[in-house]
A and B are shown apart, each in its own frame.
Chain A
Amino acid sequence: MDRWVLTVITFLPLGLLAAVLFVPGRRPNVIRWLSIAGSLVPLALSAWLWLDYSGGAHGLQYAVNRPWIPLIGVNYHVGADGLSVPMIFLTTLLTTISLIYSLNIKERVKEFYCLFLLLETGMLGVFVALDYFLFYVFWEVSLVPMYFLIGIWGGPRREYAAIKFFLYTLVGSVAMLLAILAMYFATGARTFDIIAIAGAQPFAGQMALQGLVFWALFLGFAIKVPVWPFHTWLPDAHVEAPTAGSVILAGVLLKMGCYGFLRIVLPTLPEAAQQYAVWVAVLALISIVYGAFVAMAQMDFKKLIAYSSVNHMGYVMLGIAAACSLGPANLSDRATALNGAMLQMFSHGVITGALFLLVGVVYERAHTRDLREFGGLGAVMAKYSVLLWMSCFASLGLPGMSGFVAEFFVFRGAFPAYLLITCLSMIGLVVTAAYLLWTIQRVLLGPVNPKWAGLKDMDWREIVSVVPLIALMILFGVYPAPIFRILNGYATGLASYFVGG
């Protein structure tokens, strides 16, 4: 019975979508509450998954492996391990929160909720799939609903942003598709199984070909992360997307890129990953420093948070690059870097999710995101002020919040690998602190702008959306053991994988 839990989690939103389709469009409240109530089931199941997950020898649990297209060796192979369990939980949590927050969507409610549920299935599928074919299908399935979410419920330049988002990601994914075909034929075993192909090491010793496949996969995943210089779609997509869309985009979709590195690139192409790690580290450094400085220059609140994602995802990539480059003697440093990178994935999802929600809250009231126009909101909106303070602190890495733990682990792991790059990326930390504090100053502090004196404080819908995220930031900041218990198995497993390489 346990084996099918992942299938249930993944396809339940799809079943819910089918149910929602039959609700007439003139009953928007039924649609809204049916979706929200339904989405609690995958959330509860993924919480159970977190508690139930026990690690084990290979770390893989709840696996189901059934033939799907036997003629070319495609299987329906799903499973969860330390890498995917937190991501599954993050996805279901952020989806439920987004659905609750989106109660204020008034236009085309039915389409909105349908697309969101489809999106959830796509994202969950990416995190449970252990077959390249299945992985690719879900990867693309998650792309289409987001395209519509940006394009229909987005801001004034929504068409441009939606197409740009779609085409950028698609270029990456077709590069990935070619790499997948290359791995499939190189393995020669007529299988698309991610684990089997990693075990076969299709390109062992063939550095030229392995490098080619590595860069093709790199392109696919780096666009999604996004790593500088592939990040230009991100600010456009974020600025135009509706609030819930931004939450999912930053909270989950970006993680799919890092997930690809950890699930596919590192285990399957260890030699190339090791050889090119320094390039990845340099790009990560640029993302960190450049993302921070550009964020500082933004006057648009939402764009600022968007660029801060480039900055924060850079830490994940730095941790991954460091883990690849370290020699076999530094097994524990490797594991530390990977643990940090994986915790940063989770932590960034929670923190940015909260920040985008908070940007949405103020935008819906003031109808502007221009930081120069705000001021003194702390006196007007007390609850908002507290939550924004906490989210910003978590984002800038204040000890006691989850961001700090993650970044500390990344730096601790990266330090022995790249002394100079790690030191330089500290600049990013300082700049991040600067722009977030400056943002708080511009939004919350100072004299009250009379224009905003009448703004209402957050209502229950907004509070319910943000508070669980803040709770997680604090929980894993103070006591990260429950998440490390899960992550560590995958991190040490992956770290020892490289020993021979």
Chain B
Amino acid sequence: MTAPSLQIITWNLWVSAPVCALAASAMVTLIAGAFWPAFARWLTPCLALGGIALTAAFTILAGMLGLPPAGMQVMDSFTVVFDLIILIAAFITVLVSNHYVTRENLERGEYYALMMLSASGAMLMAASDNYVMMFLGLELLSIPLYVLAGFSRGRSESQESALKYLLLGAFASAFFVFGAALVFSATGSTNIVVAGDATERALVGTTPIYVIGLAMILTALAFKVALVPFHMWTPDVYQGAPTSVTAFMAVVAKAAGFGALARVAAAGPEGSWTVLLWGLSAATMIWGNLLAISQNNIKRLLAYSSIAHAGYLLMGILAGGRAGISAVLFYLLAYAAMTFGAFAAVIILAGRGDGAEDIEDYRGIARRSPLLGWTMAIFMFSLAGLPPFAGFFGKLYLFSAAVEAGYPGLTVLAVLTSVMGVFYYLRVTVVMWMQEPEAESGPAAQTSAPLLSRLVLSALAVAVLALGIFSSPVLRWTNSGSAGLERSAEAAIQMTLPEPTNAPAALSGGSR
């Protein structure tokens, strides 16, 4: 066996244009914030929005070119769909952040720049078909997030949150690297598809080393998306981090993890891998929903609910195939809309200094502010999975993909746990709608918000409704994304096929 070697290949630069565009925009934002601090208040968010829009244009353009896999990064329709979901999420984050950052005196140029860098890491993760590149994306996603979690320097909870996230996150990253190294040593390739295919075609056999390596990679990604039992950090970090960062974490970091999982999962060996995902999904749904019931803090409640949603999403990964991955993409979009909506409402309701984050503080809000009452009810019902909101349609696509792929038991479990979930989402609506408001003073009275926040809130509520009722075109779009994933997996294998007699060393998926 010749010594495995990493090949550095030149690829079409268009493949990485979107990620580079976003990273470059982040730099511009950073510099602008540093040089003109007087204008930072409106300049940096505007630059951020512009950069995100520019990146979206690059993504669409690069997608239209129909580029072949480049060995490290792929620009298939999955990447395009996924990148756009990330960019939409980042765009909303900037809009949602604006009010919060101003109120909490966090307006520094770095804020938006870090967020954009983190988003570019998320894009890189989902676009990479190589473990090395994926690790790069993982770090680019995580490191800015560690900083952002501790961005409220004055609050010790924020510090605690950042430290916890950093320590555990670094641990998870180590798992990823070690896992990737094991996979490479077992198969001679760091390319996800090629390594998986090599074991499948028994070029090297499904060795325990490969399985262990893959399990370690799974562990790292499970940590990122907060699957039980790798979820312990979630409630503390979500509660302590600035609320706008929490929203970003809950959506973008989770989406990035699932984007990577979608690429990795297809490479997993049959049997033990399926059992592993099945168990993780079941445990996550049960435990996340169970613990959410007893939460009194709204951010902790949303943290546990985001854990539960990760369990549902994993069902789609487990089901795989065109329907499963398409359902995951659709659900990510729906989940982004409703989660951002809920956090946007929390930001408005919290008033200054995160004063009112207990559910009890929301008593009678619906009477004082009908907008908050109606929109929060929509987000809660959607998160609970009730029609006609996006959450229901997303769940239905996930469940039907799982049934079709042969997991009726897991589907029954998912349905039962989502009933459990309804209970705690309902509690929020009970408090907001059915209880009497407190006296005029106090945090509950603080429901005023700038026009922009109110507009974003309404737009998100409309989006949650529209994604449900008019889900057909969106579903067709996400379906094209999952089809792209299949196609580029085939293409990557095709590239290795002409010389099947080659030693594993040559399987590193280069363009030849």
Contacts and interface: CB of A to CB of B under 8 A. Distances in A.
Contacts of B403: 181-182, 185
A108 interface: yes
Contacts of B411: 178, 181
A349 interface: no
A147 B434 CA distance: 10
B187 interface: no
A452 interface: no
Given A69-B475, A144-B381, A167 B419 contact: yes
Interface string B404-448: 100010011001101100110010011001110000000000000
Interface string A181-193: 1101100000000
A140 B384 CA distance: 12
Interface in A61-76: 67-72
A305 B370 CA distance: 35
Contacts of A170: 419, 422
Nearest to B404: A185
Contacts of A72: 397, 400, 475
Interface in A163-208: 163, 166-167, 170-171, 174, 177-178, 181-182, 184-185
A184 B387 contact: no
Given A69-B471, A71-B479, A159 B415 contact: no
Interface string A49-68: 00000000000000000011
B386 interface: yes
A152 B387 contact: no
B325 to A, nearest CB: 14
B433 A140 contact: no
Contact of A141 (B388, B418, B435, B472): B388
B248 interface: no
A30 interface: no
Given A141-B388, A181-B399, A159 B472 contact: no
B367 interface: yes
Contact of B400 (A67, A162, A174, A184): A184
B311 to A, nearest CB: 16
Contacts of A136: 387
Contacts of B408: 182
A82 B79 CA distance: 52
A177 to B, nearest CB: 7
Contacts of A67: 472
A409 interface: no
A158 B472 contact: no
A388 B290 CA distance: 49
B419 A151 contact: no
Nearest to B366: A111
A174 B479 contact: no
Given A72-B400, A166-B426, A152 B415 contact: no
Interface in A135-164: 136-137, 140-141, 143-144, 147-148, 151-152, 158-159, 162-163
B155 interface: no
B103 interface: no
Contacts of A111: 370
A70 B388 contact: no
Pick the most buried of B422, B426, B434: most chain A CB atoms within 10 A of its CB: B434
B476 interface: yes
Nearest to A158: B434
Contact of A178 (B367, B415, B422, B479): B415
B430 A151 contact: yes
Contacts of A162: 430, 434
A167 B423 CA distance: 7
Interface in A330-382: none
Contacts of A148: 429, 433
Interface in B337-390: 367, 370, 381, 386-388
A152 B475 contact: no
Contacts of A158: 434
Contacts of B387: 136-137, 140-141
A148 B377 CA distance: 11
Given A108-B367, A167-B423, A185-B403, A152 B397 contact: no
A136 B393 CA distance: 11
Nearest to B476: A71
A167 B422 contact: yes
Interface in B454-502: 471-472, 475-476, 479
B400 A151 contact: no
A68 B472 contact: yes
A219 to B, nearest CB: 12
Contacts of B472: 67-71
A137 B434 contact: no
B400 A181 contact: yes
A132 to B, nearest CB: 11
A182 B415 CA distance: 13
Contact of B412 (A70, A108, A151, A178): A178
A52 to B, nearest CB: 30
A82 B499 CA distance: 69
B416 A140 contact: no
B496 to A, nearest CB: 33
A151 B433 contact: yes
Nearest to B395: A177
Pick the most buried of B367, B411, B430: most chain A CB atoms within 10 A of its CB: B430
Contacts of B435: 159
A319 B479 CA distance: 47
A163 B386 contact: no
Contacts of A185: 400, 403-404
Nearest to B422: A170
Interface string B4-35: 00000000000000000000000000000000
A162 B426 CA distance: 10
A137 B381 CA distance: 13
A3 B133 CA distance: 58
A468 B378 CA distance: 37
Contacts of B367: 108
A438 B185 CA distance: 86
Contacts of B423: 163, 167
Nearest to A181: B403
A151 B418 CA distance: 22
Contact of A177 (B397, B415, B426, B429): B415
Contacts of B412: 178
A152 B404 contact: no
Interface string B191-213: 00000000000000000000000
B386 A144 contact: yes
Interface in A465-501: none
B416 A163 contact: no
Interface of B: 367, 370, 381, 386-388, 392, 396-397, 399-400, 403-404, 408, 411-412, 415-416, 418-419, 422-423, 426, 429-430, 433-435, 471-472, 475-476, 479
28 contacts: A67-B472, A69-B471, A70-B472, A137-B392, A140-B388, A141-B387, A141-B388, A147-B426, A148-B429, A152-B433, A152-B434, A158-B434, A159-B430, A159-B435, A162-B430, A162-B434, A163-B426, A163-B430, A166-B422, A171-B419, A174-B415, A174-B416, A174-B419, A181-B400, A181-B403, A181-B411, A184-B400, A185-B400
Lowest 7 A-B CB distances belong to which pairs?
A137-B387, A151-B434, A69-B472, A140-B387, A174-B415, A137-B388, A71-B475
Given A167-B426, A185-B400, 19 more contacts: A69-B472, A71-B479, A137-B387, A137-B388, A140-B387, A147-B426, A151-B434, A158-B434, A159-B434, A162-B434, A163-B430, A167-B423, A177-B396, A177-B415, A178-B411, A178-B415, A181-B411, A182-B403, A184-B400
